[in-house]
Structure formats: C-alpha cells, structure tokens
C-alpha cells in the first residue's frame, strides 16, 4: 500500500513538472489604429475632478453643506427607526424604575 502511494505521488509530481508544448498566438496590435493623443489631454479629467468635488459648497445652520448631505440619511431614516424600536421599551423600563419595580433587576432583596 505504501509503495503504491509513493509511486502515485512520484508519477503525479512527474506529470505536473512535465513540459507542455504550447503554440502562442500573439494578439493583434490595435494601438497603431488609435489616434495619437497628448498625455496632458488624457490627464485633464483628473485635473478637473477637484473642481467638481468642491462645486457643492455652502452652509446650512452653520454646518458645511457636505456634512449635512452626508448625515441626512442618518437623521431622516435611522434615527426615527431607532426611536420607534427602542423608545417604547425605554419608556417602559423608566416607568418600572420610577415605580420601584426595578429592585428585582439589580439583586436587591
């Protein structure tokens, strides 16, 4: 059994290391068909990107407009959902604490 395992490992290694004859076909060169463009013209969009990023400026309530736009989903979506889900439980727990029913939660006897 051990001899068969050793022989199969040697044959698998030899097969993996055997050279494979391949014919490589070169891809057609399409770069000669492209028009010649100066590299400075290709860099123009990258140079104009900061202008587009800074085009949206201003302030709302003393805060930068970008900050307001970035956190608008949090204020308009996440905060109401959190208040709807967590709020009733928090009010119920506060009522228990104020009524004195919370002593069993804290291990007081």
pLDDT along the chain (109 residues), means of 10: 86 81 69 66 73 72 84 89 91 88 66
At residue 20, the pLDDT reads 74
Query: Under 8 Å CB-to-CB from 65, ≥6 apart: which residues?
Result: 56, 57, 58, 59
At residue 35, the pLDDT reads 63
At residue 42, the pLDDT reads 74
At residue 85, the pLDDT reads 92
Element (H, E) at 51: helix 44-53
Q: What is the DSSP letter of 32?
A: G
């Amino acid at each position: 059994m051990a001899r068969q395992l050793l022989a199969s490992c040697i044959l698998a290694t030899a097969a993996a290391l055997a050279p494979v004859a391949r014919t490589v076909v070169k891809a057609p060169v399409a770069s000669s068909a492209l028009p010649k463009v100066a590299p400075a013209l290709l860099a123009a969009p990258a140079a104009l990107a900061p202008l587009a990023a800074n085009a949206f400026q201003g302030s709302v309530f003393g805060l930068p407009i970008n900050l307001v736009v970035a956190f608008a989903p949090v204020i308009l979506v996440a905060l109401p959902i959190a208040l709807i889900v967590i709020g009733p439980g928090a009010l119920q727990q506060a009522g228990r604490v104020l009524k004195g029913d919370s002593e069993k939660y804290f291990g007081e006897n």
